[in-house]
């Protein structure tokens, strides 16, 4: 189950700037090469690359609807946090340096209690997690380990 819960079905589609009849690395490379060659003058005039993976876009869906415009505030935050944690999981599995440091800046205030709990279940799997919150009650009890208070630039243990 994801952060948002079982009744949420997210999907991500890559919207390519390069049109190919069959999506393969070779077709993409050939199509991109042709586009770059054909648009060389336009790219020089604009001073920017007009095609390529850096110009591709991602489209996010939730329950077969575009997330933009249809997802609630909590659903949007859940989506973003799930993507960030998925990236962290990849780093964790592929890095020889250990877990990445997870930094969550007052995100629990944006979530309902069920989403807070599910997010807490995920972040405890990382070695280091720094969490800020303006309201202590927003933070699930499982995450309260070492608490510090910051006031007027001074950091004090709780």
Q: Given the DSSP bridges, would you call strands 129-132 and 102-105 parallel, antiparallel or unpaired?
A: parallel
What is the CB neighbour count within 10 angstroms for residue 46?
Answer: 10
Dihedral sign for Cα 45, 47, 53, 59, please.
negative
pLDDT 10s digits, 11-45: 887 777 777 666 677 887 888 888 888 989 998 99
Tens-place pLDDT, residues 91-116: 999 988 888 999 999 998 888 888 89
Contacts of 80 (CB under 8 A, 6+ apart): none
Of 35, 40, 37, 43, nearest to 18 by C-alpha is 35
Residue closest to 130 by CA, chosen among 111, 113, 147, 116: 147
d(CA 94, CA 12): 22
Q: Whole-structure pTM over 0.75, yes or no?
A: no
Residues with Cβ < 8 Å from 124, sequence gap 6 or more? 142, 143
Instruction: Look at residue 21 in the predicted model and tell me its pLDDT.
Output: 63
Q: How far is CA 155 from CA 84, 121, 141, 145, in A?
A: 27, 27, 21, 16
């Amino acid at each position: 189950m994801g952060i948002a819960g079982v009744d949420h079905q997210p999907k991500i589609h890559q919207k390519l700037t390069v049109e190919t009849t069959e999506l393969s690395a070779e077709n993409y490379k050939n199509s991109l090469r042709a586009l770059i060659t054909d648009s060389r003058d336009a790219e020089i005039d604009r001073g920017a690359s007009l095609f390529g993976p850096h110009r591709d876009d991602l489209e996010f869906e939730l329950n077969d609807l575009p997330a933009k415009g249809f997802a609630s505030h909590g659903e949007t935050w859940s989506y973003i946090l799930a993507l960030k944690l998925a990236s962290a999981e990849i780093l964790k599995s592929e890095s020889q340096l250990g877990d990445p440091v997870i930094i969550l800046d007052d995100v629990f205030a944006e979530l309902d209690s069920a989403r807070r709990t599910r997010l807490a279940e995920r972040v405890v799997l990382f070695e280091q997690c720094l969490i800020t919150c303006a309201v202590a009650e927003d933070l699930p009890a499982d995450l309260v380990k070492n608490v510090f208070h910051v006031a007027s630039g001074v950091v004090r243990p709780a």
